[in-house]
Structure 1
Amino acid sequence: MAPKYLYKILDSQPPSPLPEKFPTTPLDAQDGFIHLSTAQQTPITAKLFFSNHDRLWVLRLDREALDGRIEYSTDPKAGVENGCAHVHDSTKGLGRGNVVEVVEVRRESGEAWPEVKGMRGLTDS
């Protein structure tokens, strides 16, 4: 069963109020699709790609409100079955119409992202 929510990790605070459409991240622009994670994958993604950050913002996205084609590609480094979600050919992108919540997460010195309370509290439904 497909998750109700998918997540986007940002390393800088999003604007408030949320815009209709966020600017594309450099990685998403380079790869030509939007990189997302499930609740289970988000702490792992943070550990792999945001290890130099102690503060992140996680966008909880309504999967059904995303336009474009969602594909799951397995990344052996992630160690999670079914791979990470990628949104291809989106015209709306991410923004006010599909962001349900912005969760700010902080980690203490020496704490790994999978141990952070805010990361452990993410859900797929």
Structure 2
Amino acid sequence: MAETADPRYVYKLVPSTAPVADPVPDQLPVSELDQTSGFFHLSTAKQVPNTLKIFFKNEPRVYVLRIEYEPIKGQIRWESPDGEVCGPRPGEGLFPHLYNGFRLGRKEVESVAVWDNQGGWDKALAGAEDWLLY
């Protein structure tokens, strides 16, 4: 991993087309991208802004799942993003990918935030500074 210390949390971004129920179900549905890749795509707090802007730019709303890192640490592989898909992402380090047989739900998700893309993701991120923790 490129960071010097383990993060406290990692984050799963879920588009508004696949809303997250409250409470979070025992097992979340698996996106087509995750199914094809064979793992859950996650981001660190530092990576969330560009992930939003690259992959969720046209989404009106995103559900952001905050996941404690320590309990899933052994199931995470820190890997480079595919430059063919998103282009280079210098300075963001390796990305956490969760390889656990697609078990992600209530047990792993610590909390959920709902962010609206009205006025751009920078505006949503500015209002989430106290929630998006490193």
- TM-score clears 0.5: yes
**Per the alignment, do residues 82 and 70 of structure 1 end up closer, same or farther by CA in structure 2, a change over 3 Å counting?**
same
2:39–2:101 CA contact under 8 A, matched in 1? no
**Per the alignment, do residues 25 and 91 of structure 1 end up closer, same or farther by CA in structure 2, a change over 3 Å counting?**
same
TM-score, normalized by length of structure 2? Answer: 0.79
Letter in structure 2 aligned against 1:78: R
Aligned to 1:87: 98
- CA drift at 1:119: 4.6
Give the unaligned 5+ runs of structure 2: none
Identical amino acids, percent of aligned pairs: 34
2:61–2:115 CA contact under 8 A, matched in 1? yes
- CA drift at 1:103: 0.5
Aligned to 2:133: 123
TM-score, normalized by length of structure 1? Answer: 0.84
How many residues were matched structurally?
A: 121
Q: Which runs of 4+ in 1 moved over 3 A?
A: 118-121
Letter in structure 1 aligned against 2:66: R
**Per the alignment, do residues 52 and 61 of structure 1 end up closer, same or farther by CA in structure 2, a change over 3 Å counting?**
same
* Counterpart pick for 1:39 among 32, 45, 53: 45
Aligned to 1:3: 7
